[in-house]
Structure 1
């Protein structure tokens, strides 16, 4: 399980953002000639155009077969538009960074990698880009003190962590976490409170994202909740991602105590239907 930390302005890392362990994860595809369909993985000449296609962190990497001499390799979307063109130079490998701080992500769907020599197509392979994300748990530090919280912070017991599972076949990238009607949101008065994160969400993995003190009932400038006036309320957390639907999770909190001594208790929670990707 991967663990990541985030704040409003930047991610606070204990560990560096790593590429997918174990090298490239293979993607299903078939190699074809430009004129007629062939068996999956075969060229007209019986040799594969691509030895492998997979992900290295946020980067889609394709390796040409040793006997293929291509002047360029295009990443083509389902509408036939060339999104990226790469020129192999002194290597059989081309790469396309599709996720990250300097990128906008990608649309889900079927893509093609097309290798060409000048104006002539040598071969191509299909690539499916399909992350599938869900928030499986939202954890309160006070109830999970054994987790890897930043315990040097005075408010660490009020912090939250999300566990985001990607059961798809390609990665996504977390940009923000939005909290609606969380205890901290009630203190600060806006219904929504957002925190920025920069976290890769690899396919086939669950990533733990450590976040802000959203269970706090007191603000930095003396504001506080009168928990005696509150009863039971839901709050919703949304992970804003670059690719795929934005997963959501709703949690029910029971409020008790007084303005000077709040008592919180989580009584229910679970994933809800995701929203469209992006903000």
Structure 2
């Protein structure tokens, strides 16, 4: 995602998790420094003769804010540019595997290789998009409220656990600690802790009368330490079985 240019810099852009600075090899630049929003040095790159680009790995542990790029020649500043590096991740869509199997990682085939009791019917997909100018890392996915199997002490109870993310990665066939989302990118996350499994005596079960409630879908992000959340209404149809009702959700 291009941020700025001008002066001695031809282009400054964020590519995946890197800040890329392009310049002219004719300007006599021999070093480029990247200064953090707090004024401290983030990194410096020596410029080899004839080169036209340097990059800085931001990763998922940088401080968001306004960065300054300084071009040096023989120790003297010959130009600088500023760039805002700030993620802005939003939840676009959330759905239950039982209702939208085609959007699950297995296409709704309910692959049980991972766990004998696992089914994508009980999992969810969450589509998120980064509208900001910097990468972010999503470190936790959980549900609080009137879902069948919530993530707090009413259910799986992993909200306070640093070792459980609740995020399933189909490629590694495992729960992962974080998922990186680059600026301008849209990705789909999958739950790993069966928030829509009916468990006797836990969470919300079906009943002879239909009922409604609401729940919060919450993502924790590493950059800025914030939470991204969205509230949904949930409706359970009437059923004679504790796990036999239909579930529908809608945004509040």
TM-score (norm 1): 0.68
Counterpart of 1:123 in structure 2 is 79
Name the counterpart of 2:10. Answer: 51
Q: Which runs of 5+ in 2 are unaligned?
A: 113-117, 168-175
Encode CA deviations 1:209-252: one digit per residue, 9 max, x unaligned.
Answer: 12222211138xx9785432994222211222233553211122
SS in structure 1 opposite 2:166? strand
Counterpart CA distance in 2 for 1:232 and 1:27 is 46
Q: Which residue in the other structure is 1:33 paired with?
A: none
Corresponding position: 1:98 with 2:53: no
Q: Distance in 1 between matches of 2:249 and 2:52?
A: 55
* Alignment correspondent of 2:149: 184
* Residue range with higher mean Cα deviation, 207-216 or 261-270: 261-270
Tell me the SS of whatever aligns to 1:183.
Answer: coil
What is the aligned length? 223
Could you say what the CA RMSD is over the residues aligned between the two structures, in angstroms?
Answer: 3.0
Q: Deviations over 1:141-163 (max 9, x none)?
A: 11112224223234111110111
Question: Who is 2:69 aligned against?
Answer: 113
- Structure 1's unaligned 5+ residue stretches are 1-24, 30-40, 43-48, 271-279
2:207 — aligned with what?
Answer: 228
Change (3 A) 1:248 1:64: same
Equivalent in 133, 138, 141 of residue 174 of structure 1? 138
1:155 aligns with 2:112: no
Show the counterpart of 1:195. Answer: 166
| TM-score (normalizing by structure 2) | 0.75
Residue 3 of structure 1: aligned partner? none
Task: Show the counterpart of 1:238.
Answer: 218
1:208 aligned partner = 188
